[in-house]
DNA sequence: CCCATTAAATGACTATCAGTCAGTAAATTG
DNA sequence: CAATTTACTGACTGATAGTCATTTAATGGG
């Protein structure tokens, strides 16, 4: 039945159109200030139709955030292409996360709500499950790579790959959140270079986890990067 | 004029009563779900009265959060009492932050909104300024202590005390935020011990910043703690 | 003690917005 | 072409942040 297939395709398209409209509004205003009427207008649909495709404003918000998640995953895949050495791939991941932040700040910003347990309660189980699946892909990639580093003797043998992944992520995420603050508290009032702080944090943590062999290889690639 | 003074005292009391009522409701429901009518009922006042004392729901929310800030500051002061050695005081700070999280999780949770630039726009300049002043006291304490560590040769001479403070805070904060998530994603699905991860992160970062002398003293006090 | 003045508090009211649902329009089918 | 299914609409409901004219209480001078 070609018609059923076409209809499904069109339905999927409509879903995407709605997400595109929502994205525009959420990027401009954030979750709290954006309204469903605005989104409906941007999508050239009635508000009622939005609710045929998404259960709530919060679900729609997460649907937009998922786009960011997919972009990040693709950037991570590119940063870890198999022709590179393990150490390059690991350094590449940290760089890719920062590039994601710089180039897709609107998406990065949307993630703030993920940690909020009150927000979780306003979201459907379905959508939460989709998010968790997407997240898992990314964690698997990072953790797998760190495990490979451990196996190759670049990282301490007693390092837990999962712990290491969390620590690296936590650092980067928290410092980038500070960078994203629009007030001038840290940059002007505290006269702090947050980008340098981020680099320093990554360096401290990565080197703290590495074996002598790992550090040698890590410094070698950083040398090359700096001379380029 | 004793009457004017009494009136001012009563006004201040009323302000505190309102914050106490708001605290109860915000702790239970979070910013988005709590309503000003509920808070008014808890305060045994009409909603209009709340607005005589606070400009908006968000301002009132921050007034509650400031209580948490003050508790944290007091805990930090206690953790850094002058009779202790510098290394003990620095280790004490990290522990105190974790204790604040464990014992005052409701307050900890409220801070999530501080990073949200959309939230900043919904809050009065006055309140934002009060927050910044409170924040500054805490940063000054932490940064001053790390600077002392540098001066005493416990930390690398080329370490920037402000950067170090941010990195330590960023780590702890981000991992504790994960701990606070009410879903079981990290603990059960990923089988991760987040408390151990936090300890590991602190250890990596602190040791990465320390001189040999610093590490010796740090290990000495950790030894004592473990045997207690 | 009484009344004018000031200060504090009230709650009905407005505006806004998330979410619903009875009804309409369009596409499909037989 | 009529019946049926599917997609969409927008007026409506209920909830809630914030306002403001009015009421209530306290104060102080006469």
Show the tokens assigned to B65: 């959060």
Say if the Cβ atoms of B167 and A116 lie within 8 Å.
Answer: no
Say if the Cβ atoms of B118 and A29 lie within 8 Å.
Answer: yes
Whether any strand C atom is under 7 angstroms from the Cβ of B35: the reply reads no
Q: First vs last Cα of chain A: how many Å apart?
A: 57
Tens digits of per-residue pLDDT, A154-200?
A: 999 999 999 999 999 999 999 999 999 888 889 888 899 999 999 99
Rounded mean pLDDT, A52-58: 97
Which residue's alpha carbon is at the shortest distance from the C1' of C28? A3
From the CA of A53 to the C1' of D4: give the distance in Å. Answer: 23
Spatial distance between the Cα atoms of B196 and A48, rounded to a whole number of angstroms: 48
Question: For tokens 């991860």, what's the residue?
Answer: B197
Higher pLDDT, B138 or B183: B138
Structural domains for chain A = 1-53 (1.10.10.60), 65-227 (1.10.357.10)
Nucleotides of D under 7 A from a protein CB: 6-11, 15-21, 27-28
| Residue B226 pLDDT > 80 | no
Question: For tokens 């840290």, what's the residue?
Answer: A186
Beta-carbon contacts of B83 under 8 Å, excluding residues fewer than 6 positions away, are none
Please count the other Cβ atoms lying within 10 Å of the Cβ belonging to residue A226: 7
| C-beta of residue A86 within 8 angstroms of C-beta of residue A149 | yes
Residue B56: φ, ψ to 5°: -160, 170
Residues making up chain A, counted from first to last: 228
Beta-carbon contacts of A79 under 8 Å, excluding residues fewer than 6 positions away, are A89, A92, A93, A95, A96
The CA dihedral of B114, B115, B117, B121, to the nearest 10 degrees, is 0
Rounded mean pLDDT, A61-66: 98
Tens digits of per-residue pLDDT, B128-144?
A: 999 999 999 999 999 99
Nearest chain B residue to A129 by CA distance is: B185
Tens digits of per-residue pLDDT, B141-164?
A: 999 999 999 999 999 999 999 999
Whether any strand C atom is under 7 angstroms from the Cβ of A51: the reply reads yes
Nearest to A69 by CA among A130, A120, A144, A11: A130
Count how many pairs of residues, chain A against chain B, have C-beta atoms within 8 Å. Answer: 138
From the CA of A23 to the C1' of C25: give the distance in Å. Answer: 29
Q: Which of A33, A166, A204 sits opposite B205 (nearest CB)?
A: A204
| C-beta of residue B205 within 8 angstroms of C-beta of residue B167 | yes
Higher pLDDT, A151 or A223: A151
Say if the Cβ atoms of A170 and B190 lie within 8 Å.
Answer: no
Tens digits of per-residue pLDDT, B76-125?
A: 999 999 999 999 999 999 999 999 999 999 999 999 888 888 899 999 99
Please count the other Cβ atoms lying within 10 Å of the Cβ belonging to residue A148: 15
CA B165 to centroid of chain Cα atoms: 14
- Check residue B212 and give its pLDDT: 97
Show the tokens assigned to B102: 């464990």
Say if the Cβ atoms of A118 and B31 lie within 8 Å.
Answer: yes
Nearest to B54 by CA among B29, B27, B28, B20: B20
| Residue B225 pLDDT > 80 | no
Across chain A, mean pLDDT equals 94
- Check residue A1 and give its pLDDT: 54
Question: For tokens 């959508």, what's the residue?
Answer: A127
- Check residue B96 and give its pLDDT: 98
Beta bridge partners of B155: B210
Q: First vs last Cα of chain B: how many Å apart?
A: 57
| CA-based nearest distance B125→chain A, Å | 11
Higher pLDDT, A226 or A117: A117
pLDDT band for position B3 (cuts 50, 70, 90): confident
- Check residue A187 and give its pLDDT: 87
């Amino acid at each position: 039945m070609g018609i059923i297939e076409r209809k499904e395709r069109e339905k999927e398209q409509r879903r995407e159109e709605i997400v595109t409209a929502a994205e525009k509004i959420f990027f401009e205003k954030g979750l709290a200030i954006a309204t469903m009427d605005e989104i409906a207008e941007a999508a050239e649909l009635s508000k009622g139709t939005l609710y045929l495709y998404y259960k709530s404003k919060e679900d729609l918000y997460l649907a937009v955030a998922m786009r960011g998640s997919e972009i990040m995953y693709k950037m991570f895949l590119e940063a870890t292409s198999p022709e590179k050495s393990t150490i390059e791939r690991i350094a590449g991941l940290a760089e890719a996360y920062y590039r994601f932040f710089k180039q897709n700040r609107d998406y990065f910003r949307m993630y703030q709500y993920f940690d909020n347990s009150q927000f979780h309660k306003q979201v459907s189980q379905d959508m939460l499950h989709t998010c968790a699946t997407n997240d898992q892909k990314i964690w698997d990639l990072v953790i797998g790579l760190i495990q490979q580093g451990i196996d190759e003797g670049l990282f301490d043998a007693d390092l837990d790959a999962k712990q290491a992944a969390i620590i690296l992520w936590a650092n980067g995420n928290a410092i980038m959140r500070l960078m994203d603050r629009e007030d001038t508290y840290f940059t002007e009032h505290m006269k702090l270079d947050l980008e340098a702080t981020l680099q320093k944090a990554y360096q401290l943590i990565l080197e703290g986890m590495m074996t002598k062999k790992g550090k040698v290889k890590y410094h070698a690639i950083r040398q090359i990067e700096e001379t380029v």
